[in-house]
Amino acid sequence: MTSVAFRKAEAFPADLCHGLRDAVDSKEQSLRQSLRAKAISVCDKKIAREGESVGLSFYAFFANKNDDPELLMEAAEWWIKTHALDHFEKAVKIREMIRSGL
């Protein structure tokens, strides 16, 4: 049986360390107020209409057209990169996350 020895630099390349630091730093990023208000409103409406178990994705906060790509990317980054959420999450969870300032 052969063993594989890794040098410290191979096990933790600088690019990976920077990526991890960026991911941690991005936790501090938040949604702009207009998007926060829209997301809470959408969650409230979906919960009222379909119950507390209803799920949604960040696409629910937008019309079916790409008229504001920067806002869409901000929502996508908050959802996927910052909080590592699944494609569909409970509307109640998302609403509470946003209300709490995340």
| pLDDT average per 10 residues of sequence, the chain (102 residues) | 45 43 49 96 98 96 89 96 97 97 92
Residue-number span of the structural domain to which 95 is assigned: 31-99
- Does the residue 18 lie in any domain? no
Structure confidence at residue 27 (pLDDT): 45
Structure confidence at residue 97 (pLDDT): 97
- Does the residue 21 lie in any domain? no
Joined together, the tokens standing for residue 28 give: 């501090």
The reported pTM is 0.70
Structure confidence at residue 15 (pLDDT): 46
How many structural domains are present in the chain? 1
**Angle at alpha carbon of residue 76, lines to 71 and 81, rounded to 5°:** 130
- Does the residue 51 lie in any domain? yes
Q: How far apart are CA 85 and CA 39, in angstroms?
A: 15
- Does the residue 70 lie in any domain? yes
